[in-house]
Structure 1
Amino acid sequence: MWLFKYLFTNLYRALQTANGRRLLWLFLRYANRPRHQSGVIPFLRYRFDVPDALSFVWQFKEIFADESYQFNTTTPQPLIIDCGANIGTSLAYFRQTYPQARIVAFEADPAIGAVLTRNLQANGITGVEVINKAVWINDDGLDFGTGEADAASMFSEAGRRRVPSVRLRDVLLRETRVDMLKIDIEGAETDVLLDCHDALTNVQNLFIEYHAYIGHPQTLGGIVNLLEQNGFRYYIDSNQARTRPLVNHRYRSNDLMDLQLNIYAHRP
């Protein structure tokens, strides 16, 4: 048994839960589809319009199989702020897991935002305030490049345009308590978090997807220092499993990023 767990750790873990087994089925059914072709994928009790099948399968793994966004709360109506809601997979999980939650979702990419709205409406996921703006350090707008699947960012040159923005610091300061703050904003996270250095007092749980783009400084230290100054305990994980990292400097042969990390922080 221990040898099996060592050799087939991910498979062993997946087989232990219903959503893990569903994940294996999704991989077998959809992961080999041509990239960046839209279609409808049924999962659990939902049917989602999906721009890229493989990206969605990885979302299902992180959100439903691994339950990476689960958090503890003492209130029956927690406030969840989702920055970078993409096509709505995280929102489906939050509404299912915290049915009385107040949920505010931000999505910068206009095309993905339209898919997000359709998915919420088609699946009866209600009570979510969707704001089609980029989370940023001011309200002046942001030069934003569109991208295939989940690759849109301020660093992308494809389809570059000016999109409306909202200063996250102002959003946080209007709230007396934020039970969960999710930040997955494709490279803008360091600037936004540093701008929020004095506005995190009421945030109880925080998820940050950290990105380091080739040709730009790595800023992980600034984020970690910010978390420590604000009294968070944190855990950092990577799904890269990169071998020979002193030789292999690229993130999944990515031409834009050379590092992506998941940072989980909570108040003890």
Structure 2
Amino acid sequence: MNVHSAAGTGRSTPAAEVLARHPAVAEVVIVDEPGTLGGHARIVPDRETARTLSRSVVLEAADRLGGLAWHEPADTIRVAGLNRGETDFLYREIFVEGAYFRHGITLPRAPVVLDVGANIGMFSLRAGLAAPGARVIAVEPVAELAAAVRLNAELHGLDVTVLQTALGRKQGETSFTFYPHNSVMSGRYADAAQDAEVLRGYLLTGDDAGAQGAGEDPGGDGRSRSLDRLVGDRLAARPRRVPVTTLGNVIRDHGLTRVDLLKIDVEKAESEVLAGLDEETWERVEQVVVEVHDIEGRLQEVLGTLRDRGFDVTHDQDPRLALTPCHNVYARRPRAGVGAPPAPVFDGVPTLRRLEGELRELLARALPSAPPPGRWTAVPHLGPAPGAPAPAAPASPAPAAVAPERVAVLARAWTDLFGADALRSGADFFELGGDSLTAVRLLARVEDELGPDALTPDLIFTDGTFAGLAAALGSGRPAEEAPRP
């Protein structure tokens, strides 16, 4: 491991020497940065002990992210996603709550898995990380999401084939509605009013329900307006045309003699997907988990289809979706047996947030009087040769110098929601425990004092740091004109 000096003298600093002791650190430099107490730690992750983190910075340096960003919904996993809020939701649903591994659904060794409606590939990762030798076919018609699946599979070294297509009862082409700010609701049968009702229902019974009371309106005209704005923003649509093939064709074209688990989450198109299986290909499917939108008797229709094909079937509904028509159906062939949910296996130090936490502890033990770096960045290499000063990153904007009275409104609302300790430029809305209803309360507080459209809801989900929100708010311009970092 190598230690470099910020001063360009060739002598390492005591803090950098301590950080370099960590086995996940290949190289490190701490550079001075205006306004950042303790400086900026630039770290090259070790290729062996921090494989995922190391791969991610190499991929980013090669411009592979495109319009995606790295998200770390937990200390154990780093993924590419469209926005932080959705990534956190998908991780919680799939990894923490095990939504697709209930009622005896499990995976054998070296399974074959079909992930239909893959989104950014969170379920593909869950299956691949839990079952060594897994072969995953991920089906995702949205180009931006399919790109995320490919990148995440490469990042984690998994065998995932990505098919950029929709599935239906026959081949062809179809209209498709993509919601870039709420991609999990994108689909062939999008309906603006219906989808808004479902999303509003989820927000009122979701993870923040305890703060409001399950099923209750957020209260007050301001909050109700902010909720409506948040729903409208999340469902800004981009219509497009996508190709369609059948599930039977996918199974035959890829030579799948068996499908150990078929997962389907296609937003009201589940019956169409199942209709694309014929007698021969149905027999190759061992287990099915499908999200069903119970509209016009669709739940009973899907349950009947699976029972008629010889599956043992059950279903449930997440309590947070009680105000929506969404149910999960679980089906197993009797020969498949019942097993415990498989546990995913992660790298030793897979995320920057975990590495930062361990390095802070290491530094506190070794140099208790030294302030830790105020900023931490993982990079593929340090750039300048040893002994030369590393380039400092651009300083964060100082919105208070532009419109301090507007930023003060945000600061008061932020402090009331998260506490005084959270009032710092790098504090992240989601890392502090914020969610959709917290966003509603934040928007309502800001708009009550500064007027409608003072802050765009989308910004909370794309750059949810206090500095990012303050920069947009402090500009004094309408939200839609505010600069995006």
Q: TM-score, normalised by structure 1?
A: 0.72
Corresponding letter in the other structure for 1:183:
I
3-state SS in 2 of match to 1:160: strand
Conservation of the 8 A alpha-carbon contact between 1:80 and 1:181: yes
CA distance in 2, matches of 1:155, 1:114: 23
Distance 1:54 1:235, change over 3 A: farther
Higher relative helix content: 2
Higher relative strand content: 1
Conservation of the 8 A alpha-carbon contact between 1:239 and 1:261: yes
Greater RCO, 1 or 2 (C-alpha within 8 Å, sep 6+): 2
Partner of 1:232: 311
Conservation of the 8 A alpha-carbon contact between 1:134 and 1:165: yes
Conservation of the 8 A alpha-carbon contact between 2:71 and 2:78: yes
Corresponding letter in the other structure for 1:267:
R
Decide which of 85, 90, 104 is 2:123's aligned counterpart: 90
Distance 1:140 1:240, change over 3 A: same
Is 1:163 the counterpart of 2:242? The answer is yes
Partner of 1:101: 134
The count of residues paired between Structure 1 and Structure 2 equals 214
3-state SS in 2 of match to 1:117: helix
CA distance in 1, matches of 2:258, 2:242: 28
Consecutive unaligned residues of structure 2, counting only runs of 5 or more, are: 1-66, 192-236, 335-485
Please state how far the C-alpha of 1:241 moved relative to its aligned partner.
Answer: 4.8
User: What aligned pairs does 1:48-197 form with structure 2 within 5 A after superposition?
Assistant: 48-70=79-101, 71-74=105-108, 76-121=109-154, 123-147=155-179, 148-149=181-182, 150-156=184-190, 158-173=237-252, 174-196=255-277
Higher Rg: 2
Partner of 1:30: none
Conservation of the 8 A alpha-carbon contact between 1:95 and 1:125: no
Is 1:41 the counterpart of 2:71? The answer is yes
CA distance in 2, matches of 1:229, 1:218: 17
Q: TM-score, normalised by structure 2?
A: 0.41
Corresponding letter in the other structure for 2:156:
G
Identity across matched positions, percent? 26
Consecutive unaligned residues of structure 1, counting only runs of 5 or more, are: 1-36, 244-249, 252-258
Distance 1:168 1:207, change over 3 A: same
CA RMSD of aligned residues (A): 2.3
CA distance in 1, matches of 2:321, 2:93: 18
CA distance in 2, matches of 1:242, 1:203: 28
Corresponding letter in the other structure for 1:40:
W
3-state SS in 2 of match to 1:86: coil
3-state SS in 2 of match to 1:181: strand
CA distance in 1, matches of 2:294, 2:86: 19
3-state SS in 2 of match to 1:137: coil
Please state how far the C-alpha of 1:264 moved relative to its aligned partner.
Answer: 0.9
3-state SS in 2 of match to 1:177: coil
